[in-house]
Amino acid sequence: MKEYNLYKSRRKAVKLLLPSSLFVVAGVFLLNQPNTSKFMAWSCILFFGMGIPLGLFQILDRRPQIIINELGIFDRTIHKDFINWEIIHDAYMISVHKQKFICLVVDERFEPSRAKGKFGQKMASLSKAMGFQELNVNVGNVQVDVERLLELILAMRSADKPNREALIRKKLSSAG
């Protein structure tokens, strides 16, 4: 079975790692200054220091973030299983503060909030009120042309099973 895998962008991880490191160094510099607030210096070190392990994790984690195959789509951040093409009715892109998401419109019976409590259901309704769906593929951490990925998702959901593998082969041949 052919798969189209998308990995975390190392470039975006470096864009997180470098500024975080600079601010930590600045915090250490401020810590050694006699007339500077120690609280501010430690706050700078601790807050921006959290970006360093996060950036390192993103650089070193080489597992696929998003997997697309003839069965469905899998995003490690949103769901523990593949989301089958048969339950996806539509998909659209939304952007919030330069972070892009592909929202998957699925049948109500398959929405994850059905298995959650009242708080989870309230959060899902809040998400929908903001223009999202319950299943949103975050493509902000991967290096991909979002419009082309959305076109692939829409083509895969409407294609019949024999044509899905051909769509993935075509995408793999054009991705190289």
Q: Where are the domains of the chain?
A: 9-60, 66-175
Q: What is the pLDDT of residues 79-130, one digit of tens each?
A: 688 889 999 999 999 998 888 999 999 888 777 766 677 887 787 787 888 8
* pTM for this entry: 0.79
* Two tokens, residue 21: 């490191």
Which has the closest alpha carbon to 159: 77, 80, 88? 88
Give the closest residue to 15 by CA, choosing from 65, 54, 62, 66.
54
Enter the DSSP assignment of 50: T
The alpha carbon of 63 is separated from its chain's Cα centroid by a whole number of angstroms, namely: 13
